[in-house]
Amino acid sequence: MARTLIASFASLVVAHGAAGSDSYTQLGEAAPPVEIEHWVKAPGMDARGAFEEITALDDGRIYVFDFWATWCAPCIASFPKISGYQKQYEDEGVVFVAISPEPLPLVTQFLQRRLGEQTQYERMGFHVAVDADDSVRTALIAPEMRGEIPMAAIVDRSGRLVYTGFTGEGFDRVLAGIVDGSWDTEAHSASVEARIAPKREKLRIEAEEDWPAALESFPDDADFLTRMAFAIAFNYGGAIKNPDNDAATAMAERAVDLTERSDAYSLHTLAKCRFNAGDIAGAVDLQAEAVRVREEGNQTPHYKDYYEGQLAQYRQALEEAGG
């Protein structure tokens, strides 16, 4: 019996791993019906020979959906290796399908580019498709992982989703285990959950504006604490409904301590927190430090004018306040 997988192909919608409660297939569950409607072929080239279009997922075969993009250097570098896997496991009923969410013309042009003596098309010894609305990735990959590529989802011979993850180091062992039936989906599911649980919690904190949880759950994550503090302190467009400056200050202070005052971003954020609290002199001192640290460490060079402009604003405010 065949299984049908549904996907459409036209313009690009790039996934950024956005948060959400949208449903997706859990590891160990039956893969949803899929139909790949459009297969990429470069003009003037053959129809890929043995790589005929797939109209249904056949029971007894293993399908590897490899999500990639033309701008992704690791994806492009992996083509020969993935082609090797396809050749190695062809007699075992393994089918590789590389899926990009980019516009069809862009992908077609990419396939015709040469890398050495081969075109990219010739380097891709497997099925190539375009998924305009990213429906396949959305159906098979957890929201917290969708912004990561190259990313693969594997459906086993019984039609169950048994792997979601990278195609780099260790992927050969994953394939071998799925092919010979020794793969432990339950253990893999637990590993994936452990990896994405912190991401899920961060997304929850941001969505619910649960600022105390940021420090409680991620006290040593300077980048996350700075990002949350920055969002609160600057609150561009009024996006934050609970702009708790005390919470932002606590997070920014912790980030400054964690980075030992070597990160311009966290210093800049703490300066804004001080300014919001009415400590204009403190804001000037911290922003001046941020400008110096940014310059000495050549951090975010494109923000030079922005950092210095912010310092000028604080100094003007201090002067107007008679400080």
Peptide bond into 150 cis (omega under 30): yes
pLDDT of residue 161: 96
* CATH number of domain containing 67: 3.40.30.10
Model-level pTM?
0.70
With respect to residue 277, please indicate whether it lies within any of the assigned structural domains: yes
Query: Are residues 169 and 294 located together in one domain of the fold?
Result: no
Query: Are residues 72 and 164 located together in one domain of the fold?
Result: yes
* Structure confidence by residue, pLDDT tens digits, 240-286: 999 999 999 999 999 999 999 999 999 999 999 999 999 999 999 99
pLDDT of residue 43: 46
Question: Which portions of the chain are predicted below pLDDT 50?
Answer: 1-21, 42-45, 47-50
pLDDT of residue 52: 61
Amino acid at 43: P
The crossing angle, in degrees rounded to 10, of helices 185-208 and 222-234 is 30
Instruction: Give the max Cα distance, the chain.
Output: 81
CB contact at 8 A, 252 and 270: yes
CB contact at 8 A, 277 and 269: no
pLDDT of residue 17: 35
φ/ψ of residue 247, rounded to 5: -65, -40
Residue (of 152, 159, 223) closest to 192 by Cα position: 152
Burial of 169 (0-12, 13-18, 19+ CB in 10 A): exposed
Range of the domain at 154: 2-195
With respect to residue 178, please indicate whether it lies within any of the assigned structural domains: yes
pLDDT of residue 51: 55
pLDDT of residue 41: 60
Query: Are residues 64 and 150 located together in one domain of the fold?
Result: yes
Identify the domain boundary among 195, 217, 241. Answer: 195
* Structure confidence by residue, pLDDT tens digits, 69-89: 999 999 999 999 999 999 999
Give me the number of domains the chain comprises.
2
Q: What is the DSSP string of 29-85?
A: SBPPPEEE--B---TTS---TT-PPPSSEETT-EEEEEE--TT-HHHHHTHHHHHHH
With respect to residue 201, please indicate whether it lies within any of the assigned structural domains: no
